[in-house]
């Protein structure tokens, strides 16, 4: 006879044997990405959390290995460091030609996303990441410009006692990494310093990358509150092998695009970023947080074409934000009200030159200063209607001003500005069926402005005057369950979009246009089950029915870059310091273009992690081994959506081995 737990697991495709009496308990999950600390089971929204402690032995070239366990997420471009990790949540972000779009990313509560909405993950030492929370779906009422959701990254804090570590790893395709970290606390002041050096030759020709990342953290705890200071610097260089046609893939999977070699396609980045965060409790009912950040980014790249093929810019960015939370009893109802403001600024001094054969710098074709400034005001109220019913209401106003000062007047003055503003709201209602079950319904709106580079004008300099922000209406129904050995969730959602941002290629350069209307309907299932004392099962499944409904002859076509179905499943064993994890990432067929003429077959990839922790009397040594694509399948590490001449494909490597050792002392 099946128990309640087994019925739930069968529903979520994770059937397993009976739990034994001495099974390890799962700690109740708390989330903070919703702007307030709350229990996961009490949150009327689709929120997931992944702890790095549960994923030992990862290579962490990108966050893809951690985020695979979250339904609704598709991650691409693990091995092309010039493109960076391309992440989508419920389809938002799939359009990106590099980096991330449509998703707000925070690191220790401070935005990593630029004011115009673009995010580059190179600003994070992934070896410091301890936890990632994901809000799936609209979060514009909390975080503004970003229709797809939120990635809230929490990094390691200074240790209470002196502690240092060294991590050395290497593997196939020239992979080498050295990490060194030290931290400690004296009195009220704690500090941490970490250095991460990673080199990779890459699976494909012309895909070498070198990354240097330095992070320093200070934490001061006083009677009035806590001050956090974080400094981060990076120095990266990456070659770009480009995308291939299907015929080129069949001829030689690991080759680079010929023009990438001809024009020496690559990029160089240096960046420095300083962030401050102050949190304080004024009383049991009142607390506040103030955050600020500033930075400088130097960027240069060479693209695989001649006319305007070299871009460089110097970016200055800064922001300040604050929020105040008050707990009260109004009209006989317990409530928690949070109000806040976000102010952000960005300035890019951009130039374009012709790219000569071999990568030499040719004539200047563009020089302009671009500015993006945003103001956001938000209010959220969580109301306990009764012991079982909770209502969460939120609203936000955002205004973004984009301006360009054309300083290359040979082709006329293309200076100008645009102001994009929007009101957004959210409402969530939850009902606690029992101490273990919660059902909820949520409706929310969101918006997403084009980034500065996406506003490039196909007709010349300045901004594209016809490009509009994308707007979305998100509706979802969900049920959550949490017990001592099982955490499970099922969500049904529907999103209606207007003016979706879609890429196209003209003259080798990527531009953007609005897609009229589209619709996204989906189902997300996830579960984490402590089967026995040493065995753990987890899964995440998504069904994605994403279609254009009104778009220039592509009506009823599927959105490119998103598989119809995705499935992650993992079995993990851990005992006496030894661990082994075997997981599978399966992706259904998808398309690489709006016309749905380039169909990409589905694939299932197996990955293995094995390691052992040894206690050496005050020191800990952890050797580990990882094998990606265990069954040596052919697949694509990245798809370049709607690219020209059918160059959509970036093949991924076959079976790939890496190994390392982590020493803590």
> Looking at the predicted structure, is the pLDDT value of residue 616 above 60?
yes
Return mean pLDDT, the chain: 90
pLDDT of residue 24: 58
- The answer to the question of residue 647 being in a domain is yes
- For the stretch 66-108, pLDDT in tens is 999 999 999 999 899 998 888 999 998 887 777 788 899 999 9
Query: Per-residue pLDDT tens for 120-155?
Result: 889 899 999 999 999 998 877 888 877 688 999 999
Sorted by sequence, the CB contacts under 8 Å of residue 578 that are 6+ apart come out as 611, 612, 613
| 8 Å CB contact between 581 and 57 | yes
User: How do residues 343-359 score in pLDDT, each as one tens digit?
Assistant: 999 999 999 999 999 99
| Residue 287 belongs to a domain | yes
What's the pLDDT score for residue 42? 83
What is the sign of the dihedral through the CA atoms of 158, 163, 164 and 169?
Answer: negative
Look up tokens 């009902």; give the residue.
431
**Residue 418 is assigned to a structural domain of this protein:** no
Q: Is the pLDDT of residue 389 over 50?
A: yes
420 in a structural domain: no
Write a three-state SS string for 333-395. Answer: EEEEEEEEEEEEEEEEEEEEEEECCCCCEEEEEEEEEEEEEEEEEEEEEEEECCCCEEEEEEE
Is the separation of the CB atoms in 265 and 237 below 8 Å? no
Return the SS3 of 192. strand
**pLDDT of res. 15:** 34
Separation CA 619–CA 530 (nearest Å): 29
Question: What sign does the dihedral 252-257-261-262 (CA atoms) show?
Answer: positive
Tell me the pTM: 0.91
Mean pLDDT on 263-274: 97
Rounded to the nearest 5°, which phi and psi values hold at 596? 60, 35
* 8 Å CB contact between 444 and 425: yes
The reported pLDDT for the residue numbered 276 is: 97
Is residue 473 situated within a structural domain? yes
Name the residue range of residue 242's domain: 4-413+428-664
d(CA 74, CA 404): 34
Give me the mean pLDDT over the 554-566 stretch: 94
Least confident of 133-147, 205-219, 619-633: 133-147
Which of 258-272, 308-322, 465-479, 610-624 is predicted least confidently? 465-479
Specify the pLDDT at position 205: 97
Tell me which residue of 638, 573, 568, 576 sits closest to 607, measured CA to CA.
568
Residue 8 has pLDDT above 50, yes or no: no
Would residue 130 count as lying in a domain?
Answer: yes
Question: Rounded to 5 degrees, what are φ and ψ at 311?
Answer: -120, 140
Q: How far apart, in whole angstroms, are the C-alpha atoms of residue 133 and residue 584?
A: 21
In a domain, 276, yes or no: yes
pLDDT value at residue 36 = 67
Report the percent of the chain where pLDDT is more than 70. Answer: 95
Residue 7's pLDDT is what?
42
Average pLDDT over residues 366-373: 92
In this predicted structure, the answer to whether residue 10 has a pLDDT above a threshold of 80 is: no
pLDDT digits (tens, 9 = 90+) for 431-476: 999 999 999 999 999 988 888 778 777 776 677 878 888 899 999 9
Q: Decide: 63 and 55 in contact? Cβ < 8 Å.
A: no
Q: How many domains does the chain have?
A: 1
**CATH number for the domain harbouring residue 409:** 2.40.170.20
The tokens describing 493, both together, are 């959602």
User: Domain for residue 422, yes or no?
Assistant: no
Over residues 301-321, the pLDDT tens digits come to: 999 999 999 999 999 999 999
Residue 204 has pLDDT above 50, yes or no: yes
């Amino acid at each position: 006879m099946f128990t309640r737990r087994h019925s739930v697991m069968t529903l979520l495709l994770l059937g397993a044997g009976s739990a034994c009496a001495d099974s390890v308990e799962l700690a109740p999950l708390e989330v903070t990405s919703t702007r307030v600390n709350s229990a996961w089971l009490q949150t009327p929204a689709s929120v997931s959390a992944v702890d790095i402690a549960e994923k030992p032995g990862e290579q962490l070239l990108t966050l893809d290995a951690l985020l695979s366990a979250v339904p609704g997420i598709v991650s691409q471009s693990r091995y092309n460091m010039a493109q960076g990790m391309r992440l989508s949540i419920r389809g938002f972000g799939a359009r990106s030609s590099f980096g991330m779009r449509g998703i707000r990313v925070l690191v220790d509560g401070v935005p990593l996303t630029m004011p115009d909405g673009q995010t580059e993950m190179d600003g994070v030492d992934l070896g410091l990441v301890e936890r990632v929370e994901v809000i799936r779906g609209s979060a514009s009422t909390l975080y503004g410009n970003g229709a797809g959701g939120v990635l809230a990254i929490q990094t390691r804090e200074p240790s209470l006692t002196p502690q240092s570590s060294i991590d050395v790893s290497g593997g196939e395709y020239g992979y080498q990494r050295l990490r060194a970290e030290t931290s400690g606390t004296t009195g009220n002041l704690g500090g941490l310093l970490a250095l991460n050096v990673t080199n990779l030759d890459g699976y494909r020709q012309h895909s070498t990358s070198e990354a240097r990342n330095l992070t320093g953290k200070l934490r001061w705890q006083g009677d009035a509150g806590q001050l956090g200071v974080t400094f981060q610097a990076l120095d990266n260089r990456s070659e770009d092998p480009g995308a291939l046609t299907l015929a080129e893939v069949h001829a030689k999977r690991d080759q680079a695009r010929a023009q990438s070699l001809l024009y020496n396609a690559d990029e160089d980045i240096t960046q420095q970023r300083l962030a401050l965060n102050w949190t304080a409790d004024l009383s049991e009912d009142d607390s506040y947080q103030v955050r600020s950040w500033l930075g400088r980014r130097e960027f240069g790249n060479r693209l695989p074409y001649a006319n305007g093929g070299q871009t460089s810019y110097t970016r200055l960015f800064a922001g300040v934000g604050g929020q105040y939370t008050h707990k009260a009893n109004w009209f006989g109802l317990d409530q928690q009200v949070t109000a806040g403001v976000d102010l952000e600024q960005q300035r890019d001094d951009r130039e374009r030159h012709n790219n000569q054969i071999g990568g030499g710098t040719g004539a200047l074709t563009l020089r302009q200063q671009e500015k993006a400034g945003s103001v956001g005001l938000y209010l959220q109220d969580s109301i306990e209607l009764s012991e079982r019913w909770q209502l969460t209401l939120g609203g936000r106003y955002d205004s973004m001003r984009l301006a360009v000062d054309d300083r290359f007047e040979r082709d006329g003055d293309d200076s100008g500005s645009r102001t994009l503003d929007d009101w957004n709201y959210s409402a969530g209602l939850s009902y606690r069926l029992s101490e273990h079950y919660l059902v909820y319904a949520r409706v929310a709106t969101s918006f997403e402005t084009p980034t500065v580079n996406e506003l490039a004008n196909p007709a010349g300099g300045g901004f594209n005057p016809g490009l509009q922000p994308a707007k979305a209406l998100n509706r979802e129904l969900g049920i959550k369950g949490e017990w001592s050995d099982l955490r499970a969730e099922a969500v049904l959602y529907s999103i209606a979009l207007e003016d979706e941002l879609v890429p196209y290629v003209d003259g080798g350069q990527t531009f953007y246009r609005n897609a009229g209307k589209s619709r996204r309907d989906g189902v997300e299932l996830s579960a984490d089950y402590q089967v026995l004392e040493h065995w753990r099962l987890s899964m995440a499944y998504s069904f994605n029915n994403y279609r254009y409904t009104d778009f220039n002859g592509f009506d009823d076509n599927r959105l490119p870059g998103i598989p119809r179905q995705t499935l992650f499943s993992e079995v993990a064993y851990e005992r006496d310091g030894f661990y082994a994890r075997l997981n599978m990432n399966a992706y259904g067929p998808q398309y690489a273009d709006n016309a749905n003429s380039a169909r990409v077959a589905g694939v299932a990839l197996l990955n293995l992690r094995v390691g052992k922790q040894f206690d050496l009397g005050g020191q800990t040594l952890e050797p580990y081994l990882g094998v990606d694509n265990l069954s040596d399948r052919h697949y694509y590490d990245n798809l370049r959506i709607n690219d020209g001449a059918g160059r959509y494909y970036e093949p991924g490597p076959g079976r790939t081995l890496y190994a390392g050792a982590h020493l803590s002392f």
